Amino acid sequence: MASLLMKDGLAAEAIDRIALALTSCDPQFEADSFRSQALTGLQPLSLKQRVHHIIGALHQHLPADYEKAAQLMIQLPNHWTADDSWNYSPFAAWPLIDYHASYGLHSPSLALDTLAELTQMFTAEFAIRPFILQHAEISHQKLEQWIHSDNEHIRRLASEGSRPRLPWGEQLKPHIEDPQKCLYILNALRHDDSLYVRKSVANHLNDISKDHPATALQIARDWTTNNPSKYSSWIVKHGMRSLIKQGHPEVFSLLGFSSQPDVSHCQLDIQPTSIRIGEAVQMTFSAKSMAEQKLALDYAIHFVKANGQRRAKVFKGKVVDAQKGQVIQLEKSHSFKLITTRKYYPGEHHLEIILNGKVVANGKFQLQVADC
């Protein structure tokens, strides 16, 4: 399994699961023909290309009348065989979900009702976004119904599907421009007992913070002061993570940290001062706390980019409830081992120690090309 790619979640086994489920719903479904068409030309396609390819095969084998197709597919959860044998097995249901975004836009009420039933098989967070953009009024009527559902998957769908900047999903520009459009969803679900739902609420709040930091801070402030729940601090902390990384001054006081960290004798040692790609740099920081205070110790590395400029990335360190006179320390080893998600470029890198969003120490080190 370790050598499999994400797109392998939509391969022959997934197509067999789709065919079996649809045959269980409708014995007249031409499973062999569907398998043949879905598998033809599948191998070289990317993950999202496979989704669309299989949707095309489904369209050729499901009733041409969307209402009839939806009535058949709404039965799928009762016939779907769950498979959690590896992380990407649930992708098998993805084409069955996104089918409705491709062929159900002219019947938004029926399509959204169907997606609410199917989302327990695989999230419909991507599929509902075209409906929100093209049928905003009816979509928000459904979203308001979903937040009261007994099913955590449906409640989560209301928050996750309406996120302004959902990764992999189409951006919802109306929600980016006016985050108040979905505030009723977040206010209703911030008390939810399901961690699955609360994570989505936090992610939605984090999306808002990227375009409207003042609005996100006001929402977080309201949640921690007006009818707070036992989940408020957790949601606010995770929902403010982008602002925390940016060192936004207001967010730290909101989370109970000192807005003006009172420290002295800040010392930073970086060893070695020159490393090669594939090696690690060791940082050791110490400071004396001059007051009783809550401190977030993070660090930032200003990575050299391909054009020679630098771009900072913040990494989490630790949280300390410091006493007056206490020496606080942060020791970290940061690896420059080659990974698929980051490319390293040689040159002078800068390193900063950040206390409650404020830079209190900095240094430099050289990154060199590894020996061949």
Average pLDDT, the chain: 95
How far apart are the C-alpha atoms of 158 and 136, rounded to whole Å? 13
The mean pLDDT of 184-199, rounded to a whole number, is 98
pTM passes above 0.75: yes
Task: Give the per-residue pLDDT at 286.
Answer: 98
Band (pLDDT 50/70/90 cuts) for residue 248 is confident
Q: What is the mean pLDDT of residues 234-262?
A: 90
pLDDT at 12: 96
For range 271-279, the mean pLDDT: 96
pLDDT of residue 86: 74
Q: What is the pLDDT of residue 263?
A: 97
Place of tokens 């007992």: 193
Q: Measured in whole angstroms, how far is the alpha carbon of residue 99 from the centre of its chain?
A: 23
How far apart, in whole angstroms, are the C-alpha atoms of residue 296 and residue 97?
42
Pairing of strands 274-276, 358-368: parallel
Q: Mean pLDDT, to the nearest integer, of 256-271?
A: 94
Q: Which residues contact 243 (CB under 8 A, 6 or more apart)?
A: 209, 213, 216, 217, 251
Q: How confident is the model at residue 371 (pLDDT cuts 50, 70, 90)?
A: low
Question: Which band of pLDDT confidence, cut at 50, 70 and 90, is reported for residue 85?
Answer: confident
For the chain, helix, strand, coil in percent to 5 are 45, 20, 35
Percent of the chain with pLDDT over 90: 88
User: What pLDDT does residue 48 have?
Assistant: 96
Which domains does the chain possess?
A: 1-124 (no CATH), 263-368 (2.60.40.10)
> Euclidean distance between the first and final Cα of the chain, in Å?
31
pLDDT band at 83 (very low <50, low <70, confident <90, very high): confident
pLDDT at position 81 is 84
**Could you give the CA distance from residue 220 to residue 347 in angstroms, rounded to a whole number?**
40
Q: What's the pLDDT tens digit per position in 119-129?
A: 999 999 999 99
Identify the band that residue 342 occupies on the pLDDT scale cut at 50, 70 and 90.
Answer: confident
pLDDT band at 51 (very low <50, low <70, confident <90, very high): very high
pLDDT recorded at residue 249? 80
Average pLDDT over residues 18-39: 98
Asked whether the predicted pLDDT for residue 1 surpasses 50, the reply is no
Mean pLDDT of 174-183: 97
Amino acid at 102: S
Task: Determine the Cα–Cα distance for residues 187 and 235; give it in Å rounded to an integer.
Answer: 12
Per-residue confidence at 181, pLDDT binned at 50, 70, 90?
very high
Residue 100 has pLDDT above 90, yes or no: yes
* DSSP E strand boundaries for the chain: 263-271, 274-276, 280-289, 293-304, 310-322, 327-335, 347-355, 358-368
